[in-house]
Amino acid sequence: MITLQDYSIKSELYRGDKSIVFRGEKENVPVIIKYLNIEYPNQSEIDYFQKEFNFLKKISLPCVIKPIAIEDYKNSSILVFEDIQGKSLREILKEKENFSLEEFLDLAILITSALGELHGQGVVHKDIKPHNIIYNYKTKKLQIIDFGNATFLSRENPSINPKNLEGTLSYISPEQTGRMNRSIDYRSDYYSLGVTFYQLITGVLPFVSKNSMELVFSHLAKLPTPPHLLSDSTKFIPEIISEIILKLLEKNPENRYQSTNGLLHDLTECKLKFEADGKIDSFILMTKDISKQFRIPEKLYGREKESESLIKIFEQTTFGHLKLALVSGHSGMGKTALIQEVQKPIGKSMGRFISGKFDKFKKNMPYYAIIQAFRNLVEQMLTLDRNEIQDIKDDIQIALGKNGKVLTDIVPELELIVGEQPSIINLSSLEAQNRLNLLFIKFIQVFCKSNNPLVLFLDDLQWADNSSLNLLKTILTDKSLEFLMVILSYRSNEVDNTHPFSILLDEVKKTDVEIENISINPLSEKDVNQLVSETLVSNTNSCEELSNIIHLKTGGNPFFVSSIFTSLYNESLIYFEDKWKWEISKIKQISISENVIDHTKDKISQLDLDKIDILKMAACIGNRFVISVFCKIINKSLTETEEILAQLSNDGYFILGGNEARFAHDKIREATYTFISEEENH
C-alpha cells in the first residue's frame, strides 16, 4: 500500500491494470484516492488522469463523483475525490449474488435517473458497469465514477486498436468494439446499462468467456438468455423486466431505448405495479420513449438491393472464391456507408474487414490506401490472444522468409507482430516491384482462411496511384488466392475510359475473376420520407411535405439530404417541444446552394474564425489525423483541442475515434480547401 503525505490510507477498493483506488482521509475528511499504478508512466498516461480531472471539473451533478485535487506522487499522479461512504455495486454483488426485485427496481430507477442527468449535460460515460456505480444504503445516495473514457456528446467512431479500446469488454456495446459501422453516442451507455441490470437481477453476466474475441463476437451476434428464464427458488424475475433489459441489449442502437425518460417511465410503472399488487403484469413498453436528441439514424435507406448483393458476394467468398465488387456512383451517394454496412455480417461470420482510402491530395504517395488497410489488419491482430498472435507470427515468417523487411518498411506496425526484420538485398526497380507484389500475395494468403475470410475495401479509386493499381492487378489476377473479397469504390463521374483505373479493370476482365458491378443512385422521395419520419419519430404522412421539400432541394443525394436536414435543425426550423415540430412555411422559403460543395462552404463560412482555422489545418494534414499530435501543430492543449473537435464533430464536420479524428466526408475537406489562401498553402 502506498504512503501519501497529508493522507492516511484506510483500505484498497479496486486494483486494475493501470490504476488502484483507495479509501482514505485527509484532515479527518473521508476521500477516495485514485493512483496511477505505473512506475514510469508516459505523458499520455499522465494526461489521461489530467483529462479525467478536467472533465469532472466541468460537471456539477450530485450523481457524479466530485474531484477535489490532482497531485504529483513520485513519477506518477493521484486523483482525489469526495467519498460518499458507499460501496460499489460490484462489492455489494459479491456479498449477496443478486438483488431482490424490489431492490433492483429502486436501484435501476436511481441509476437511470443519474445517467439521464449525465446525458443531459452532454456526457457519454462509455464504461457503465457495477464497478463504477457507488451506492450508500443509509443515505440512498448513488454516484457514477471513473470518467477516464467519458466524452462530451459528439459523433464518435471507435478504434479497434486494443490499446485504445474504451470500456470493459464484458459490458461494452457492439458499436464500441469498432466492428459495427456505427458511431458511439449516448445509446452506447444504454447497452452497458442493460448488461449491468442483467447482472444485478440475475447475478450473472449475459456473456461469459475468457477469450476476448469470443466476447466481442457475443456482443455482436449472440442473443443473451432472457433474464426471466433464469428465475429460480432464490429469485423471481418478471417477464416484463426481462423485456426491458433485452431492449437495452439490442445490437443496433436504433432498436434500444432512445431516452432515459422512456426507460424511467417503464421502470417506474413496474415499481408502482409491484407495490400495488405484489406482481408486475405485462404492459406496452416505450410509449414515452422519444429522444430530444436530433440524430439521423445510422442505417441505410433505399439500399436494400445493393446491400443484399454485397452480402451475397461475401457469402460466396466463404466457399473459397476470390470475388471483386465494384461500387460506383457520384460523390455523396453513400458508397462508403453501403460497403461498411457489410461489416456486421462479416463480423458474425468471423470474417475480417480491412479498409483504406485514397486521397485526392496525396496521389504521389505510393500504396497510400493499401498501407492504411494493412495497418488496420495489424491492429485487429493485436486484439487477439497471445497464443493466436504467436500462431500468426509463425505463419507470416514462413510466408515472407527472409524478406519480411520489405513489408515492415511499408507497414512499420507489422513489427509489433513479427519483430524487427533482417536487412534485405537491394534489387533493381522492376525486380523490387515484383518482389513486393509477390510478398503482398503471400502476406494476404496468411489471412485468407476458410474460417476467417478476408474483405479488402479500398475507397476512392479515382485517386489511386499507379503503384497501387499495379499491386491490385497482381492480387486480382493471382489464381492462388481464395477466401478473399475485394471491394473497390469510385466516383463514376471522375473515371472515364482513359483513366488508369479503367485500364486496370479492362485487363482484369480478360481473366476469369468474377466481377459484380453495383451502381448507387439518388434516394427516392419514399426513401427520404422514411429517413425524415424515423429521425423525427413521426408517421410518414405527417412528414411527407417536409421530406418532399428536402428531396426536391437535394436531388436525393444522401450526403446533401443529411446536411440540409441537420442545417434545418441547427437553424431552429426543426425543434423539439414535447414532440418534434417544424416551420414548414419558413423551410419552403429558404434558399439552398445547388451543389454540395457550395452548401458546405456556406456552412463553414458561418463558423467562428478559430474553428475555420482548425478545419483548414486539418485539411492540410489529410483526411484523418492524430489528435495528440494535432494539438501541438495548432499550439493548443490536448483538452482544449478535444473540446473544439467535439463541437465540430457535433456539427457534422469530423468523426472522432480514440486519439484520431477524420473528416466526415471528402466534400467537407474539399470545401475547406477553398478557404486556404495561396500564401497559407506554401
Per-residue pLDDT tens over the stretch 490-532:
999 999 999 999 999 999 999 988 899 999 999 999 999 999 9
All three cell numbers of 157: 467512431
- From CA 296, how far away is CA 185, in angstroms rounded? 12
Domain boundaries of the chain, sorted by first residue: 8-82, 88-277, 304-515, 525-592, 597-673
Domain 304-515 of CATH type 3.40.50.300: yes
All three cell numbers of 645: 473537435
Residues with Cβ within 8 Å of residue 318, at least 6 apart in sequence: 349, 351, 450, 453, 483
Q: What is the mean pLDDT of residues 84-98?
A: 91
pLDDT category, 160, cuts 50, 70, 90?
very low
How many of the other CB atoms lie within 10 Å of CB of 73? 15
User: Beta strand pairing status for 133-136 and 352-357?
Assistant: unpaired
Q: Which of 157-166, 182-191, 441-450 has the lowest mean pLDDT?
A: 157-166
Residue tagged 416505450 (cell numbers)? 286
- From CA 565, how far away is CA 343, in angstroms rounded? 27
Residues with Cβ within 8 Å of residue 153, at least 6 apart in sequence: 119, 122, 123, 124, 185, 186, 293, 646, 650
How many of the other CB atoms lie within 10 Å of CB of 6? 10
Does residue 161 surpass a pLDDT of 60? Answer: no
Burial classification of residue 199, based on how many CB atoms lie within 10 Å of its CB (0-12 exposed, 13-18 middle, 19 or more buried): buried
Whether the CB-CB separation of 673 and 617 falls below 8 Å is answered with no
User: Beta strand pairing status for 660-663 and 624-626?
Assistant: antiparallel
All three cell numbers of 83: 467519498
* CATH top-level class of 597-673: mainly alpha
- From CA 220, how far away is CA 201, in angstroms rounded? 23
All three cell numbers of 61: 451533478
pLDDT digit string (tens) for 626-680?
998 999 999 998 888 988 998 898 888 998 877 889 998 888 999 999 999 877 7
- From CA 262, how far away is CA 247, in angstroms rounded? 12
- 3-class DSSP state for residue 524? coil
Quote the strand ranges of 578-651, DSSP E.
Answer: 579-582, 624-626
Whether the CB-CB separation of 135 and 89 falls below 8 Å is answered with yes
pLDDT category, 235, cuts 50, 70, 90?
confident
* CATH top-level class of 88-277: mainly alpha
In 3D, which of 574, 670, 544 has the Cα closest to residue 619?
A: 670
DSSP string across 402-421: GGHHHHHHH-GGGHHHH---
pLDDT value at residue 163: 38
Whether the CB-CB separation of 508 and 476 falls below 8 Å is answered with yes
pLDDT above 90 covers a percentage of the chain that reads: 67
Superfamily of domain 8-82: Phosphorylase Kinase; domain 1 (3.30.200.20)
All three cell numbers of 631: 494539438
Does residue 157 surpass a pLDDT of 60? Answer: no
- From CA 333, how far away is CA 177, in angstroms rounded? 27
pLDDT value at residue 164: 46
- From CA 371, how far away is CA 622, in angstroms rounded? 15
pLDDT category, 62, cuts 50, 70, 90?
very high
How many of the other CB atoms lie within 10 Å of CB of 511? 13
- From CA 60, how far away is CA 66, in angstroms rounded? 8
pLDDT category, 119, cuts 50, 70, 90?
very high
Residue tagged 461469459 (cell numbers)? 208
Mean pLDDT for all residues in the chain: 91
How many of the other CB atoms lie within 10 Å of CB of 20? 17
User: Beta strand pairing status for 484-491 and 624-626?
Assistant: unpaired
Residues with Cβ within 8 Å of residue 47, at least 6 apart in sequence: 628, 638
pLDDT value at residue 551: 95
Whole-structure pTM value: 0.80
How many of the other CB atoms lie within 10 Å of CB of 512? 8
Residues with Cβ within 8 Å of residue 201, at least 6 apart in sequence: 98, 99, 101, 104, 227, 235, 237, 241, 245
pLDDT value at residue 167: 67
More confident residue, 52 or 594: 52
Residue tagged 422521395 (cell numbers)? 525
All three cell numbers of 669: 475537406
- Residue 560 Cα distances to 195, 555, 593, 599, angstroms: 37, 8, 10, 8
How many of the other CB atoms lie within 10 Å of CB of 29? 10
pLDDT value at residue 73: 83
**What is the maximal distance between C-alpha atoms in the chain?**
86
Residue tagged 421502470 (cell numbers)? 267
| 3-state SS, one letter per residue, for 56-108 | HHCCCCCCECCEEEEEEECCEEEEEEECCCCEEHHHHHHHHCCCCHHHHHHHH
- 3-class DSSP state for residue 432? helix
All three cell numbers of 116: 439521464
pLDDT value at residue 594: 63
